[in-house]
Amino acid sequence: MNNIYKDFGIDDKVCEFAENILKELKPRFDEIDRLADINQLKVIAAMQKNNVSEACMLGTTGYGYNDIGRETLEKVYADIFHTEDALVRAQITCGTHALALALMSNLRPGDELLSPVGKPYDTLEEVIGIRDSIGSLKEYGVSYRQVDLLEDGTFDYENIKKAINEKTKLVTIQRSKGYQTRPSFSVKQIGELIAFVKSIKPEVICMVDNCYGEFTEEIEPSDAGADMIVGSLIKNPGGGLAPLGGYICGKKECIENAAYRLTSPGLGKEVGASLTILRDFYQGLFLAPTVVASALKGAIFAANVYEKLGFDVIPNSTEDRHDIIQAVTFGDKDKMIAFCQGIQAASPVDSFVKPEPWAMPGYDSDVIMAAGAFISGSSIELSADGPVKEPYSVYFQGGLTFPHVKLGIIKSLQTLYERNLVKID
């Protein structure tokens, strides 16, 4: 293997450092393989129950009336996530769009949105109106309130209780850390938070941003009381094959509201041609549990490598995983950029490109992104990104196969090593 890695410009010292860490991780990797088995069988069972057939792959054009493949896929998603209904559409452009759709369709002027988990993901700030933007919830008379997490990253139940009032209509819970250095939440933690909120106001809608979290545990937030879960198909559930799209799974009324907002009042789920995309949606979903398992192994490997080198990592090298994201805090701009450039250099697509910080739409600072992916912006594929500002944290995720993730981490370490930004003992 060392000889093969030399073709990628990797020193023997870097290889040996990485391989010694990998030997220690076999028991954890075996547990991830067990998780993949459980989730794979869950997906197959849902497909068999709903009689997925060759006809489901054919798609429709025009209005998309009576699209058997689209309708069956939505039943499959509802069964996998144990919800009353689902909206799974190519017309949902990204995770932020899916979240905005879920919020804007289920909130009305005079309602209040509450985040009990602190600051939302950066791109949602303009959706909500924290940063002014055309068409935000704030523009439509929806107010917003948030309760920050406690210093140890847990929920501030006392202040959450105080924040819930007669206007509180919807509670949004972000499962993954986003561009923050807090822990991601387990399904168990999310379930406890939802139960607490419902004990105060039973009719409130609890929505979970499930991005990066699908198939990382045996159960999903919808199994723990969430009224809606929302995600992107170019993340976990698309399995690296879905080239676009998003989903919302949840209570029938919530999904119906979202469908009418996505298309038109009076039309809802009845329209929306799937063209030729359905085969990728089905096959990507089928592959998703094993693809997510590869990404989880890569995240654990990255945590162990960079923690051993003295960097702060969240989650740490031994913690349980609730999403595919691994945060590494470098505390130095050059190290952050070198890491991302190393990840890019390991990519099958655009490996010759050097990522640089740029003013990406929806963010309040320059962002660097390493993403040599088959699907543009796909973060279930090997990628790394982060805002270029203190404390210079990189968020590493994805990997369709573990050998590729392994190469990416080793190449990132090689880049830091050859620039004298880390020392390997």
pLDDT tens sequence across 199-229:
999 999 999 999 999 999 999 999 999 999 9
Answer whether the bond into residue 391 is a cis peptide, omega within 30°: yes
Q: What Rg, from alpha-carbon coordinates, does the chain have? A: 21
What the chain holds in terms of domains, given with CATH numbers, is: 2-40+290-418 (3.90.1150.60), 58-285 (3.40.640.10)
Are the CB atoms for 334 and 419 separated by under 8 Å? yes
pLDDT surpasses 90 at 146? yes
Sheet holding 326-329, edge to edge: 312-314, 326-329, 393-397, 383-387, 367-370
* Cα dihedral value 49, 288, 127, 257, nearest 10: 0
| % of residues, the chain, pLDDT over 70 | 100
Which neighbouring-strand residues pair with 112?
143, 168
3-state secondary structure of 311: coil
Mean pLDDT (whole number) for 168-185: 90
In the predicted model, is pLDDT for residue 365 greater than 90? no
pLDDT at 122 over 90: no
Q: How far is CA 191 from CA 81, 244, 345, 373, in A?
A: 14, 29, 40, 34
Name the band, by pLDDT with cuts 50, 70 and 90, for residue 28: very high
Q: Structure pTM?
A: 0.95
Nearest to 248 by CA among 74, 131, 403: 74
